[in-house]
Amino acid sequence: MMGGLLALVILVSSSLLMFPSPTASLPLCTDSRSPSALTTPLTFCPYNGSTCCNSTQDSQLQKQFQAMNVSDSACASILKSILCAKCDPFSAGLFTVDTVPRPVPILCNSTVSANSSQSNQAETDFCSTVWDTCQNVSIFNSPFAPSLQGQAGIPVNASFTKLTSLWQSKGDFCKAFGGGSLDESVCFDGEPVKLNSTGAPSPPKGLCLEKIGNGSYLNMAAHPDGSNRAFFSDQKGYIWLATIPEQGSGGSLEIDQSSPFLDLTDEVHFDTQFGMMGIAIHPNFAENGRLFASFNCDKSKWPGCSGRCACNSDVNCDPSQLPSDNGAQPCQYQTVIAEYSANGSASQPSMAKSANPVEVRRIFTMGLPFTAHHGGQILFGPADGYLYFMMGDGGSPNNSGDPYNFSQNKKSLLGKIMRLDVDNIPSVDQINKLGLWGNYSIPSDNPFTEDNGLQPEIWALGMRNPWRCSFDAARPSYFMCGDVGQDIYEEVDLITKDGNYGWHVYEGPYHYASEGNTSVKAENFILPVLGYNHSQVNNKLGSASITGGYFYRSTTDPCMYGRYLYADLYAGALWAGVETPENSGNFTSSEIPFSCAKDSPIKCNSVQGSSLPSLNYIYSFGEDNRKDIYILAYNGVYRVVRPSRCSYTCPKENVTDVSTPSPSTQPSDASLLVYRYSSLVCLVASLWLFLWGNM
């Protein structure tokens, strides 16, 4: 019996591993970069506007096509469209399956694309069309060699061949090269990919909040063990481990302010613009106990605060020539990422209630030229496990522009999003060879490998002051960042590899300054996907500053599902952005009204003369392991709850059974996986009890 049970457990584990991972297609090129807008159309490939090809690549594709020497005009036309698919804005989805690159795009096959998101795929079988048209046409150096995906076939050298010489039948051919638009992927039907647009859905009637905590926090990170616990940190330098109450329980956040998980207040320099700016808990924290803190320090007060100045000869900057800022000397203040450990404080790290305040390793240290615009958020990428570090342009004494052009300077780390490998410690030789700023390695696919003008740490550039970034829990390729504006516009950017987001040539969609001493052409800048003008925000300070948020992936409010929630720091206003069509990268947004639930565990502060809740300053957002969203505000912690608790109407909400998500909601694949896993665990447990009782 025990052997049978063991076999069942192995089968259960195997079935879990076979569940498909969530995938998504969005405008991305095969090199993971965002498509670029062309000022002049390509001469060979029929792609205008945003495309993955430049004129050089267009010319190369033309030469490749001409070398095929295809005599049949109908087949030639099809082959040209297939080659030119490399220019398609969705080419990353067309040419890659499970990260494996393909020589040709996935050809639409009607037998598997009945649920296609492309408007005409359900009626087309482009793969059959390719076979029927080209099967007996000789093609020199055919891209349809049967070695794809391990298919058995005749070895092919550079020679004239026909499809019928390479493949036994149309079925075999389409099995290798065909596919459908399943799991939110796309396929190629001979034309540029067009997603089916059904129009933007109506915005939610409102967002219902409950207040569960009175503290003022800057960061929240769910405990990686999957429990209802989360880490919270404040700007002063404290990190706490809290227990989050069940929704509807009437409970509040269980957090002991007198007993922090980690106290770094002796190292952290706390002021209006300074403090602990970010925390990141290692994905394997439950096993290794590793956690990371990003903070500012003052080298005049702490000996451990010493690093190279961001203004240096590599970026043609002389720190001795920089003016002081509010009495601070250039690079008096530093930005630091340090690693700490919870090992040894409990029988296992997942049970730890404290961490050792002594650094395990200094990851990164850099001197700041001025006292503003230094971002500081850190987070682990859910798909790659690397540490992303958000850094502003360094500011200036008058807080305007980017006078030293740090953001566009490829050798400067200011105004950048960095991507670091903190799991592999480099040698001293590696650090010196690459000119690294600390103890980390560089991921092999960082864009510097294709652009040696870039510092190796850089993932994206052209940021002013990124304030709160997140990965979509359902689609990890969606990496969204709020970037604080200057005079006119607050923006949300969809971050991609080697993306340039325009600052300080552009502020959002508006020209800010002439290109000056940057060699980057405006056509290479990526415009924001969401944002708002300062004129849209009304507040007492007359200022605006964006706070980036999250895609809402909880089943708690089904009318918010799939929308990106973000806010303004000063105005206490909330917006929800929706992508139409889905996976297109085209967003629209609307300001969302919000109320406080009458049965909120803690009474919400109200706007003077109104029953509406006053959030005051919205510092940040958080997401727990159930994907519920939290607002971290000056006067407390708020959670998004069921709309009906605020008398908002949401047709998708099942108010008769609040414990069960509405059938019309769309839980993420990750949620479905957890559900399947839980069900299987229950099954195994039941069988174990049954077998135990009969042994």
Segment 305-324, tens digit of pLDDT: 999 999 999 999 999 999 99
Q: What's at 593, amino acid-wise?
A: P
The answer to whether the CB of 86 falls within 8 A of the CB of 63 is no
Distance between CA 147 and CA 650 in Å, rounded?
52
The mean per-residue pLDDT over the stretch 522-540 comes to: 86
Q: Write out the two tokens for 298.
A: 């003052």
pLDDT in tens, 419-449: 999 999 999 998 999 999 999 999 999 999 9
φ/ψ of 458, rounded to 5, equals -75, 130
**For the chain, what percent of residues have pLDDT higher than 90?**
70
At 101 the pLDDT is 78
pLDDT at 671 over 60: no
Residue 262 dihedral angles phi and psi, to the nearest 5°: -150, 130
Residue 179: is its pLDDT beyond 60? yes
Distance CA 188, CA 106 (A): 6
pLDDT score of 118 more than 80: no
| Per-residue model confidence (pLDDT) at position 684 | 36
- Closest to 459 in 3D by CA, of 444, 447, 472: 447
Chain mean pLDDT for the chain? 86
pLDDT greater than 70 at residue 177: yes
pLDDT of residue 399: 76
pLDDT at 515: 57
Residue 400: the pLDDT is 81
Query: For the ranges 161-170, 331-340, 685-694, which has the lowest average pLDDT?
Result: 685-694
Query: Quick check: 61 pLDDT over 70?
Result: yes
- How confident is the model at residue 389, as a pLDDT? 98
Query: Do the strands 333-341 and 238-243 form a parallel or antiparallel pair, or are they unpaired?
Result: unpaired
Q: How far apart are CA 163 and CA 143, in angstroms?
A: 10
pLDDT in tens, 575-590: 999 999 989 999 999 9
Tally of CA atoms within 13 A in the half-sphere of 373 that contains its CB? 31
- What pLDDT is recorded for position 688? 37
Tens digit of pLDDT for each residue in 635-657? 999 999 999 999 999 999 986 65
Mean pLDDT value of segment 285-313:
96
Number of C-beta neighbours around residue 60 at 10 A: 14
Q: Per-residue pLDDT for 60 more than 90?
A: yes
| pLDDT value at residue 153 | 39
In this prediction the pTM is 0.86
